[in-house]
Structure 1
Amino acid sequence: MTRTVPGRTDHVVVIGAGLSGLAAALHLLGAGRRVTVVERDAAPGGRAGRLDLGGYRFDTGPTVLTMPHLLAEALAAVGESPDARLELVELHPAYRARFADGSSLDVHTRPEAMEEAVRAFAGPAEAAGYRRLRTWLEQLYRVQMRRFIDANVDSPLHLLHPDLARLAALGGFGRLDARIGRFLRDERLRRVFSFQALYAGVPPARALAAYAVIAYMDTVAGVYFPRGGLHAVPRALAGAARDAGAELLYGQEAVRLERGAAGRVTAVHTTGRRIPCDAVVLSCELPHAYRLLGRTPRRLLRLRRSPSAVVLHAGTDRTWPELGHHTLSFGDAWSSTFQELTATGRLMSDPSLLITRPTAHDPSLAPPGRHVHYVLAPCPNTDIGPGAADWRALGPRYRDRIIAELERRGLDGLGAAIERESLFTPAHWTEQGHMAGTPFSLAHTFGQTGPFRPANLVRGTENAVLAGCGTTPGVGVPTALISGKLAAARITGPAAADRTGAARGGAASVRPPARKGPA
């Protein structure tokens, strides 16, 4: 049995209206709890925010949505489904990969389409290797999901299960790059199935092969786009929570936890009011959560943060047909790039970039005839690279360098086409309270994975639970949603959380179809 919050838990305050906090709120509501959500910003979203500039609407956080059944599961807790709140479009292809040698590959999630694309790109032997790789990714996902990702774990001993042996047999404790290399010899293809290690903050050559589960989400399970952008997801979750009876308090930052007997939290004090409660879910940034709790758990090893990113939001008067909805623009360098990002702390000398063009599927995000482009350039965090203060001067220069590089790679006239723009750097992330100036939180090293990651229960406060990317299971949209579910289960008990979907109609197990009509 996993540990749960003892005593009365009738009224729960959730601090933070990001994806994890909203998922926790929905699962708590579905289990019959009264819920108040406190959010310092004027709207829901957290990392998945939105920026409006002169008729252009930009997602300021994630731009890739995978595993939509986790959205269905959270909404099912209150008797709803994604179809009532969102219009999801499945992307075909999921990505377009462009390489330094001038070649390009459309990355499909459907097996037949991807096999044909790989065959045309790199020959029949690589196409056969892709099919074997896909089978391995599916096996890896089935072994990991319920036991190691979507589960509360109180001790490493809880992992002693036949699935651990199955994971070992699949090579999950080897190195990601080497394992992918057993299936694919073409280095360009290996990049397509291993770049996701950067999401986990670890180079592919050092990442556990188990993290290929992220490649499963990206290249097998399907990539989706919600019309209105990714910010439509927290808006939908918040709307469902409100309609199910949650009280949503925006513009209210939690500043203090009031305690009673045995150290239990009895109220949350915000900048505007005192809110009595029986339990609290802290889905705010990990340092802020620990400040509110008044303690930071002791660890043998210092916490290691993921690399950061520079993000250019550009509203343009034109676009470029060679761009997909998501385009991976790879530089020629690879291993040295990760060395720069995670060890030497230098900016990428030969950058690999993610370019997202959401107006490909939603022209309403820009004025008529205009386009939205989001360019993400990974960079070192402020622990090992330039500090937040350095980025105030460095940011504009690096912005010019990124544009020049993209123009060299074929996006002619990009700089002149920009009408509105906003640049986010580690200085911005630091101002937002993100550790080491990175929005990607803690790296998924072995010592910060599973039961070794900061736990969602904190000793010394029996009725407080953590949620979010700094705790279990980790970084990303799917894991943020799972984190909220796991936090709720610490309060309601896992049986109550698992029953919710079935009690509300079973939608938790349904993968929402792509829709093309109006919402």
Structure 2
Amino acid sequence: MNKEKTAIVIGAGPGGLAAAMLLAGKGYKVNVFEKQAYLGGRTSQVQLGEYRFDRGPTFLMVPHLLEELFSSVDRRLDHYVKLIELDPLYRLKFGELEFSPSRHSAQTEEQIERLFPGNGQGYRRFMQEEGKKYQRVMPLLQRPFSKLQDYMAKDVFAALPKLNAVGTVYQRLGRYFTDERLKYAFSFQSKYLGMSAWECPGTFTILSYLEHKYGLFHPVGGVNQICQAMAQVIEEYDGHIHLATGVKQVLTKNKKVVGIQLENGERLEADHVVINADFSTAMNTLFAEGELKKFSPAKLAKKKYSCSTFMLYLGVNRSIHMPHHNVLFAQNYEKNVREITTTKILSEDASLYVHNPSALDPTLAPAGKSALYVLLPVPNLTADINWQEKQEQVREAVLTRLEQEPELRGISSAIEEQEILTPLDWQEKQFVYRGATFNLAHSLDQMMTLRPHNRFEELDNCWLVGGGTHPGSGLPTIFESAKISTQLILEQDRSQIQRFKKQKNVVGEEASVWR
């Protein structure tokens, strides 16, 4: 029992890297295996010539949670990454009307009252009531929910009156705001979960609260630099990250995970295996046929999944003078969201998100040029859309919409570099099941103990991190999943050591009697 404990992490996404960093910092011998030739998974970097982009997440909120993650292994986040606070948070466009809130609540309230008369007081109530809810809900996002008894705890009973889990995000916002555009401004964050505000549980109004309370930040070099920083810490603790090294199968014995087999045939043993690969892809591909019962292919197919995204990464040969984050709302936003999530068709009138980080961060594009990131929410691959046929048509529609913005006129002729990522690409190139960019949906029947558990239910010594387990998708909760799972590993190993010591003491006492 004195031997060094070993852990294998499958996938070098943010959850896997966070778990590896925490375990390495606690003395575990850690090896991370990543199928891609680069770090980060959906939070990786895209490089096109001299232009650099975040592949997926571009919003970094509640940085103090990330700082705590680093400090738990005796490191400081600011020694690895420079964060720049954004002010305003973003620009939201409803036709000709522009709303640019900040975390300076007095300024935001004044702007709301000017643009949406009579709603300033509602904003004040939103910040007060949602702040109380956040304080009650946060403890539930920082511990496991593995069995029904986990609900019988003080923090759950304290949170219940504030959870708002029965209603939806949109319904909840009706308590605060009368203007539909303002409701959209505080509900579009449901898209971070890949869900509709008309379906997403009302609990998740805390997402917009977090932005308004704690602000949004840009790491120099992009959000992907958080993954680079964690990888550096892992290596400082003698952990090893193996890129372009795919895992073929998780090895088991007597309902316990004992190691992995790599795609090159090599077999490696470990005390623990942590799975950070896309949840449903991992369940479908990493285990022997018939080994899993609860997460069999047939049962996985019946689960609910998030929407997908159509991505455009554009290297543009001119400076773009627009804010860092921009959301261009469809004229009929509710119809647009319904088409993405329910009827599952491509909207003629669609909302767009435009990220313009090189205006703030000169490391992302050559001087006088811009790295522009454009995201169009679209249905996942359960929709009857042939992306090989539709890709160019959708690209043209997106560019036509961008050309309507004053800062982006003529953008089509200024493109030097371009990459497209469709839902089909998310599945085939990024190994995301059904192209569901935000993983399993966050419906009430797929949350907390009803979500795949951090301690994998079907096999011992197997652990889950990432958006497919509790507490869910989105970077802050993905980091919390790593904290929860690694804490469970530490507790299990401490318990085993204590049992071993007790057994050793008993044997020693029996031997002394015979002497």
TM-score, normalised on structure 1? 0.88
- CA displacement at 1:75 relative to structure 2: 1.5
What are the equivalent positions in structure 2 for 1:79-118 lying under 5 Å apart? 79-100=74-95, 102-118=96-112
Partner residue, 1:49: 44
Mapped contact 1:29–1:77 kept (Cα < 8 A): no
Q: Report the counterpart of residue 305 of structure 2 in structure 1.
A: 305
CA contact (8 A) 2:252 2:258 kept: yes
Is the aligned partner of 1:132 residue 2:122?
no
Query: Which residue is 1:515 aligned to?
Result: none
C-alpha displacement of 1:215: 1.5
Q: Counterparts of 1:395-406 in structure 2 under 5 Å? A: 395-406=391-402
Partner residue in 2 for 1:362: 361
- The answer to whether the 8 A contact 2:318-2:368 is kept is yes
User: Which of 224, 229, 232 is the equivalent residue of 2:225?
Assistant: 232
Counterpart of 2:161, as a letter, is: A
Q: Is 1:152 aligned with 2:164?
A: no
Paired position in structure 2 for 1:371: 370
- For 1:265, which of 253, 257, 264 is the aligned residue? 257
Q: 1:474 to 1:8 in 2, by over 3 A?
A: farther
Partner Cα separation in structure 2 for residue 72 and residue 231 of structure 1: 16
Structure 2 residue aligned with 1:143: 136
Which residue of 1 is the match for residue 482 of structure 2? Answer: 484
- Which of 107-116 and 10-19 deviates more? 107-116
SS at match of 1:245: coil
Q: Quick one: which amino acid aligns to residue 197 of structure 2?
A: P
CA distance in structure 2 between the partners assigned to 1:76 and 1:49 by the alignment: 23
Q: Please state whether the residue corresponding to 1:232 is helix, strand or coil.
A: helix
- Which of 41, 56, 62 is 1:61 aligned to? 56
Distance in 1 between residues matched to 2:373 and 2:343, nearest whole Å: 26
Cα 1:186–1:12 shift into 2, 3 Å: same
Deviation at 1:165, TM superposition (A): 4.4
The superposition leaves residues 48-102 of structure 1 with CA deviations (integer Å, 9 ceiling, x where unpaired) of 11121120111111111112122212222321011110000111111111112x0
CA distance in 1, matches of 2:384, 2:436: 11
Match of 1:252 among 219, 223, 245: 245
Is 1:457 matched with 2:479?
no
Asked if 2 retains the 8 angstrom alpha-carbon contact of 1:17 and 1:45, the reply is yes
Letter in 2 for 1:231: N
What is residue 502 of structure 2 aligned with on the other side? none
State how far apart, in whole Å, the 2-side matches of 1:118 and 1:371 are. 31
Return the alpha-carbon distance in structure 2 between the equivalents of residues 298 and 268 of structure 1: 21
Instruction: Indicate yes or no: 2:333 matched with 1:338.
Output: no
Structure-2 separation of matches of 1:447 and 1:305: 12
2:223 & 2:151 partners in 1: Cα distance? 34
Letter in 1 for 2:33: V
Residue identity (%): 30
Q: Secondary structure at the match of 2:388?
A: helix
Structure 1 unaligned blocks of 5 or more: 1-5, 497-519
The amino acid that maps onto 1:331 is: A
Q: Secondary structure at the match of 1:236?
A: helix
Gaps of 5+ in 2: 495-515
Residues 9 and 491 in structure 1, CA contact (< 8 A), matched pair in contact too: no
Amino acid at match of 1:441: N
Written as runs of structure 1 = structure 2, the 5 A alignment for 1:416-435 is 416-431=413-428, 432-435=430-433
State the secondary structure of the residue aligned to 1:220. helix
Q: Which moved more, 1:365-374 or 1:287-296?
A: 287-296
Query: CA distance change for structure 1 residues 208 and 416 in 2, over 3 Å: closer, same or farther?
Result: same
Task: In structure 2, give the amino acid aligned to 1:418.
Answer: I
For 2:415 and 2:382, the matched residues in 1 are separated by: 32
CA distance 1:126–1:293, shift in 2 (3 Å): same
Question: Does the Cα contact within 8 Å between 1:8 and 1:278 map onto a contact in 2?
Answer: no
In structure 2, the partner of 1:223 is 216
* Conserved? CA contact 1:171–1:179, under 8 Å: no
Letter matched to residue 392 of structure 2: P
Match of 1:172 among 164, 167, 176: 164
**Which aligned pairs between 1:316-355 and structure 2 lie closer than 5 A?**
316-321=316-321, 323-355=322-354
2:38 counterpart letter in structure 1: A
Give the secondary-structure state (helix, strand or coil) at the position aligned to 1:47.
Answer: helix
| Equivalent position SS for 1:347 | coil
The structure-2 alpha-carbon separation of the partners of 1:297 and 1:86, relative to structure 1 and needing over 3 Å to count, comes to farther
CA–CA distance in structure 2, aligned partners of residues 8 and 334 of structure 1: 58
**Shift of residue 175 of structure 1?**
2.0
Contact 2:255–2:459 under 8 Å retained in 1: yes
Once the two structures are TM-superposed, the CA of residue 185 in structure 1 deviates from its matched residue by 1.0
Tell me the distance in 2 between the aligned counterparts of 1:161 and 1:56: 50
1:417 deviation in Å? 1.8
Aligned residue for 1:475, secondary structure, equals: coil
SS in 1 for 2:313: strand
**1:37 maps to 2:32:** yes
Q: 2:9 aligns with which of 3, 11, 14?
A: 14
User: How far apart are residue 409 of structure 1 and its match?
Assistant: 3.9
How far has the Cα of 1:494 moved from its partner? 9.0
Query: C-alpha distance in 2, partners of 1:175/1:168?
Result: 15
1:407 is matched with which residue? 403
CA distance in 2, matches of 1:231, 1:49: 5
How many residues align? The count is 483
* Aligned AA (1:353): L
Q: Tell me how far apart the structure 1 counterparts of residues 11 and 222 of structure 2 sit (CA, whole Å).
A: 20
> What one-letter code is carried by the residue in structure 2 that aligns with 1:335?
E
Structure 1 residues 464 and 286: alpha-carbon distance in aligned structure 2, compared to 1, 3 A threshold: same
CA shift at 1:320, angstroms?
4.1
| Offset at residue 113 of structure 1 (A) | 2.4
Deviation (angstroms), 1:167: 3.7
- Cα deviations by residue, 1:345-399 (Å, 9 ceiling, x for unpaired): 111221111110010211221112100111110000111341xxx1122111101
Whole-angstrom distance in 2 between the partners of 1:459 and 1:162 = 25
Q: Alpha carbons of 1:93 and 1:297: their partners in 2 closer, same or farther (altered >3 Å)?
A: farther
SS in 1 for 2:122: helix
Instruction: Report the CA distance between 1:44 and its aligned residue.
Output: 1.5
For residues 336 and 149 of structure 2, the distance between their equivalents in structure 1, rounded to whole angstroms, comes to: 37
Change (3 A) 1:456 1:297: farther
- Output one character per residue of 1:279-330: Cα deviation in whole Å (capped at 9) or x when no partner: 1101112234323233444278921111101011111122443x21001111
**Structure 2 residue matching 1:138: 3-state secondary structure:** helix
**Other-structure match for 1:441:** 439
Q: Which residue of 1 aligns with 2:498?
A: none
Q: Higher mean Cα deviation, 169-178 or 466-475? A: 169-178
Alpha-carbon offset, residue 160 of structure 1: 3.1
Structure 1 residues 165 and 332, CA, compared in 2 at 3 Å: closer, same or farther?
Answer: farther
In structure 2, distance between residues paired with 1:430 and 1:169 = 39
